[in-house]
Amino acid sequence: MHYGIFKDIHANFEVKQTISWTSSRIGNQRRDFLGNFTLVYRGQDLILVHGTLDASQLFDYMIDVYSSRQSFQLLDSRICFIGHTHIPAVFMQGQDQHLHTIKTGCIKIKDDKKYIINVGSVGQPRDGDPRAGYCIYDAANNEIEFKRVDYDVDAARMKIIKAGLPRILGDRLLKGL
Protein backbone atom coordinates (compact mmCIF):
# COMPACT_ATOMS: atom_id res chain seq x y z
CA MET A 1 0.00 0.00 0.00
CA HIS A 2 1.41 3.41 -1.00
CA TYR A 3 0.48 6.34 1.21
CA GLY A 4 2.78 9.00 -0.26
CA ILE A 5 2.77 12.05 2.01
CA PHE A 6 0.23 10.30 4.24
CA LYS A 7 2.55 7.47 5.24
CA ASP A 8 2.98 8.78 8.78
CA ILE A 9 -0.68 9.47 9.46
CA HIS A 10 -2.35 7.29 12.06
CA ALA A 11 -5.46 7.02 9.92
CA ASN A 12 -8.56 5.01 10.53
CA PHE A 13 -9.35 1.96 8.43
CA GLU A 14 -11.63 3.77 5.97
CA VAL A 15 -9.04 6.49 5.34
CA LYS A 16 -6.34 3.90 4.72
CA GLN A 17 -8.60 2.04 2.29
CA THR A 18 -9.40 5.27 0.45
CA ILE A 19 -5.75 6.28 0.21
CA SER A 20 -4.87 2.84 -1.14
CA TRP A 21 -7.76 2.95 -3.65
CA THR A 22 -6.73 6.42 -4.87
CA SER A 23 -3.04 5.58 -5.01
CA SER A 24 -3.69 2.51 -7.17
CA ARG A 25 -5.56 4.64 -9.72
CA ILE A 26 -3.66 7.90 -10.09
CA GLY A 27 -0.42 6.61 -11.58
CA ASN A 28 3.13 7.79 -11.07
CA GLN A 29 2.87 10.98 -13.14
CA ARG A 30 -0.08 12.32 -11.14
CA ARG A 31 1.44 11.10 -7.88
CA ASP A 32 4.64 13.00 -8.70
CA PHE A 33 2.62 16.08 -9.65
CA LEU A 34 0.72 16.02 -6.36
CA GLY A 35 3.89 15.25 -4.42
CA ASN A 36 5.50 18.45 -5.70
CA PHE A 37 2.98 20.72 -4.01
CA THR A 38 4.20 22.49 -0.90
CA LEU A 39 2.26 21.86 2.27
CA VAL A 40 2.05 25.59 2.95
CA TYR A 41 1.44 28.13 0.19
CA ARG A 42 2.26 31.76 0.92
CA GLY A 43 0.72 34.33 -1.38
CA GLN A 44 0.20 38.05 -1.20
CA ASP A 45 -1.41 38.65 2.22
CA LEU A 46 -2.70 35.08 2.56
CA ILE A 47 -1.58 31.57 3.40
CA LEU A 48 -3.10 28.25 2.34
CA VAL A 49 -2.56 25.07 4.35
CA HIS A 50 -4.57 21.89 4.58
CA GLY A 51 -4.47 21.37 8.36
CA THR A 52 -2.49 23.69 10.62
CA LEU A 53 0.50 25.98 10.18
CA ASP A 54 2.36 24.57 13.17
CA ALA A 55 2.27 20.96 11.94
CA SER A 56 1.32 21.03 8.26
CA GLN A 57 2.97 17.67 7.61
CA LEU A 58 0.86 15.97 10.29
CA PHE A 59 -2.49 17.14 8.91
CA ASP A 60 -3.73 18.08 12.38
CA TYR A 61 -7.29 19.20 12.97
CA MET A 62 -8.10 22.78 13.93
CA ILE A 63 -11.44 22.44 15.64
CA ASP A 64 -11.55 25.23 18.22
CA VAL A 65 -9.77 28.32 19.50
CA TYR A 66 -7.37 26.22 21.57
CA SER A 67 -6.18 24.22 18.56
CA SER A 68 -5.74 27.45 16.55
CA ARG A 69 -3.35 29.05 19.05
CA GLN A 70 -0.04 27.76 17.65
CA SER A 71 -1.05 28.47 14.05
CA PHE A 72 -1.85 32.07 14.98
CA GLN A 73 1.63 32.39 16.50
CA LEU A 74 3.09 31.45 13.09
CA LEU A 75 0.64 33.47 11.02
CA ASP A 76 2.62 36.26 9.37
CA SER A 77 -0.18 37.45 7.09
CA ARG A 78 -3.72 38.61 7.73
CA ILE A 79 -5.53 35.53 6.46
CA CYS A 80 -4.91 31.79 6.42
CA PHE A 81 -7.28 29.40 4.66
CA ILE A 82 -7.45 25.81 5.92
CA GLY A 83 -9.55 22.70 5.44
CA HIS A 84 -9.14 19.16 6.74
CA THR A 85 -11.99 19.13 9.28
CA HIS A 86 -14.55 19.73 6.50
CA ILE A 87 -16.33 22.10 8.91
CA PRO A 88 -16.67 25.77 7.96
CA ALA A 89 -15.30 28.01 10.70
CA VAL A 90 -13.72 31.39 11.31
CA PHE A 91 -11.06 31.90 13.97
CA MET A 92 -10.01 35.49 14.66
CA GLN A 93 -7.24 37.12 16.68
CA GLY A 94 -7.35 40.77 17.69
CA GLN A 95 -4.45 43.05 18.57
CA ASP A 96 -4.87 42.03 22.21
CA GLN A 97 -3.93 38.47 21.07
CA HIS A 98 -7.30 37.20 22.33
CA LEU A 99 -8.74 34.43 20.12
CA HIS A 100 -12.38 34.25 19.06
CA THR A 101 -14.58 32.19 16.81
CA ILE A 102 -17.09 34.11 14.75
CA LYS A 103 -20.08 32.93 12.76
CA THR A 104 -19.76 32.07 9.12
CA GLY A 105 -21.77 33.97 6.57
CA CYS A 106 -20.43 37.19 5.11
CA ILE A 107 -17.36 38.35 7.03
CA LYS A 108 -15.78 41.78 6.69
CA ILE A 109 -12.00 41.40 7.08
CA LYS A 110 -10.58 44.10 9.34
CA ASP A 111 -7.01 45.36 9.02
CA ASP A 112 -6.28 45.10 12.76
CA LYS A 113 -7.17 41.41 13.03
CA LYS A 114 -5.86 38.07 11.78
CA TYR A 115 -8.12 35.30 10.51
CA ILE A 116 -7.91 31.57 10.02
CA ILE A 117 -10.74 30.47 7.76
CA ASN A 118 -11.84 26.87 7.41
CA VAL A 119 -13.50 26.88 4.00
CA GLY A 120 -15.74 23.86 4.62
CA SER A 121 -15.99 21.05 2.11
CA VAL A 122 -17.38 20.55 -1.35
CA GLY A 123 -17.15 16.79 -0.72
CA GLN A 124 -17.69 14.96 2.57
CA PRO A 125 -19.01 17.87 4.71
CA ARG A 126 -18.91 17.18 8.44
CA ASP A 127 -21.15 19.88 9.89
CA GLY A 128 -24.53 18.20 9.49
CA ASP A 129 -25.34 19.98 6.23
CA PRO A 130 -24.99 17.65 3.22
CA ARG A 131 -24.78 20.49 0.69
CA ALA A 132 -21.40 21.39 -0.81
CA GLY A 133 -19.74 24.13 1.20
CA TYR A 134 -17.15 26.67 0.14
CA CYS A 135 -16.24 30.30 0.57
CA ILE A 136 -15.39 33.18 -1.72
CA TYR A 137 -12.60 35.57 -0.80
CA ASP A 138 -13.07 39.04 -2.26
CA ALA A 139 -9.66 40.65 -1.67
CA ALA A 140 -10.71 43.95 -3.25
CA ASN A 141 -13.57 44.41 -0.76
CA ASN A 142 -11.95 42.54 2.15
CA GLU A 143 -14.84 40.10 2.45
CA ILE A 144 -15.26 36.38 2.79
CA GLU A 145 -18.62 34.85 2.04
CA PHE A 146 -19.54 31.28 2.89
CA LYS A 147 -21.82 29.50 0.44
CA ARG A 148 -23.77 26.24 0.26
CA VAL A 149 -24.92 24.52 -2.92
CA ASP A 150 -27.29 21.59 -3.40
CA TYR A 151 -26.10 18.67 -5.50
CA ASP A 152 -27.25 15.12 -6.18
CA VAL A 153 -26.06 13.56 -2.93
CA ASP A 154 -27.67 10.20 -3.73
CA ALA A 155 -25.82 9.93 -7.06
CA ALA A 156 -22.51 10.85 -5.40
CA ARG A 157 -23.15 8.28 -2.68
CA MET A 158 -23.83 5.54 -5.23
CA LYS A 159 -20.65 6.37 -7.19
CA ILE A 160 -18.62 6.00 -4.00
CA ILE A 161 -20.21 2.66 -3.17
CA LYS A 162 -19.98 1.30 -6.75
CA ALA A 163 -16.30 2.27 -6.87
CA GLY A 164 -15.68 -0.14 -4.01
CA LEU A 165 -14.80 2.53 -1.48
CA PRO A 166 -15.92 2.11 2.13
CA ARG A 167 -19.71 2.40 2.26
CA ILE A 168 -19.55 4.77 5.23
CA LEU A 169 -18.00 7.43 2.96
CA GLY A 170 -21.09 7.36 0.77
CA ASP A 171 -23.60 6.99 3.57
CA ARG A 172 -22.25 9.93 5.55
CA LEU A 173 -22.94 12.23 2.59
CA LEU A 174 -26.66 11.88 3.29
CA LYS A 175 -26.34 13.62 6.64
CA GLY A 176 -23.20 15.68 6.08
CA LEU A 177 -21.39 13.95 8.94
C-alpha 93: how far from its chain's center?
A: 20
- Looking at the structure, tell me whether residues 1 and 88 fall in a common domain: no
pLDDT > 70 in the chain, percent: 94
Report the range of poorest mean pLDDT among 9-18, 49-58, 164-173: 9-18
Q: Facing residues of 100 across strands?
A: 92
Q: Find the domain containing 132 and state its range.
A: 40-149
- What is the average pLDDT score of the chain? 87
**Could you give phi then psi for residue 115, rounded to 5 degrees?**
-135, 140
The contacts of residue 150 (CB under 8 Å, 6+ apart) are 131, 132
Distance separating alpha carbons of residues 25 and 31, to the nearest angstrom? 10
Question: Does the residue 112 lie in any domain?
Answer: yes
The domain that holds 47 is classified in CATH as 3.60.21.10
pLDDT in tens, 1-47: 333 444 444 457 888 888 889 888 888 898 889 889 899 999 988 99
Question: Does the residue 176 lie in any domain?
Answer: no
